Amino acid sequence: MTDLISKAAPILGLSDRETVMLDLDEMNFKSARYWAMLVLEKYRLKGFIILKSSKNHYHAVFDRYVSREENLNIVAWVAILSKNISLLRYLAMQCIKMSSTLRVAPKGDKPSPRIVYRFGCQDHAIKDFLEFRQLIKRIHSSMQ
Amino acid sequence: MPKTKSKGISPKTRWAIKGYVNQGYSANKIQKNLTKQGLGIQRKKLLAEVRKIKGLKPKADRQKYIPKKYRRRVSPPARKPVYSGKHIAVYKNATTRRHPKPYSARFEFYGRGKDLAKAIRLALSGIVPRCEDPFVECSARAFLNDPYRFGEKGEWVDRPNIESCPHSRSI
């Protein structure tokens, strides 16, 4: 089988409207965990996981399903308070597409994001996220 | 306990059973008394009615006490919905013959696992969204049936390295 995943191949990600996902770029793990915890408490999102995308780049996924509007509200709240330009850009993309996307497969030299922290309930949106992530990873590995 | 009325029991019989149950009669005794009064009833229906009046829950996993050949055919557990709201995003910059300048392009597929795998494989083989409609959201099955409805031949490319001009700094 030919290797379809070359350096120029597109990136595979998971996109959803009702799962709260944050792309926490340019911040260390402690800051990422701080913001995730703050959002969890303010919006009662039950639980979260943090995935490490690369050095000082983290993703956070929350467990409670929310409406599209609430999702935008949450991401905007974090983006404004944290003054994180990358997160503002992520919010803008979310507003354009009306769904948020997180990378799942490797990108260039970066490996696929891995879970580094778990907190609270993981039975709803996180469970579905991890199942779908597994599917994407299987598809990706089948192409290599 | 289901609230539906047992079929084939007259209101008079039901009323009598309720009275006997409230007095603490056993099912056998109730049945004998009912037969004496000319209100004979099938034992299965009587027991169901007694359980209903007492508010007893049916025993869990009753099917296992019934021989297989008498078991009611149960439909297999419902499959998970194909579209669960989550999409696979395939994204990067793309170029086509008509648009040699790279533009940000994205496919978002939803559907079953096999269809998704095939659709992604097809997209990777050189079908990119059109420049006029760079963000495409479609089912994997529809994309497989007619890929050129959603995109055209092209190449996925890396983001071009744009070096900002030193004189054009923002103030």
CA separation (Å) from A140 to A5, A6, B10, B17, B20?
Answer: 8, 12, 65, 66, 68
Q: Is the pLDDT of residue B164 over 60?
A: no
- Residue A84: helix, strand or coil by DSSP? coil
Q: Do A8 and B135 touch (CB under 8 A)?
A: no
Evaluate if residue B171 carries a pLDDT over 60: no
Q: How many angstroms separate the CA atoms of B29 and A103, rounded? A: 71
Highest mean pLDDT: which range of B8-12, B56-60, B140-144: B140-144
Whether B156 and A142 lie within 8 Å, measured CB to CB: no
**Separate counts of helices (H) and strands (E) for chain A:** 4, 6
**Do residues B150 and B90 lie in contact, with contact meaning Cβ atoms separated by under 8 Å?**
no
Please list every residue in chain A whose beta carbon sits closer than 8 Å to the beta carbon of residue B123: 10
The per-residue pLDDT for range B20-73, each reduced to its tens digit, is: 999 999 999 999 999 999 989 999 899 989 988 988 877 777 778 888 888 777
| pLDDT tens-digit readout, A108-136 | 888 999 999 999 999 889 999 999 999 89
pLDDT digits (tens, 9 = 90+) for B89-135: 999 999 999 988 999 899 999 988 889 999 999 998 889 999 998 99
Contact residues, chain B, for A137 at CB < 8 Å: none
Torsion of the alpha carbons at B96, B100, B102 and B107, rounded to the nearest 10: -10
The closest CB to that of A15, out of B86, B123, B124, belongs to B86
* A8:B108 CB<8 A: no
Residues of A in contact with B86 (CB under 8 A): 14-16, 19, 128-129, 132
Cβ-nearest to B89 among A8, A96, A101: A101
User: Encoding tokens for residue A114?
Assistant: 């891995």
Amino acid at B14: R
- Judged against a pLDDT cut of 50, whether residue B78 lies above it is answered with yes
For B94, nearest residue in chain A (alpha carbons): A10
For the segment A39-85, what is each residue's pLDDT rounded down to a tens digit?
Answer: 999 999 999 999 999 999 999 999 999 998 999 999 999 999 999 99
Can you read off the two tokens belonging to residue B153? Answer: 């031949």
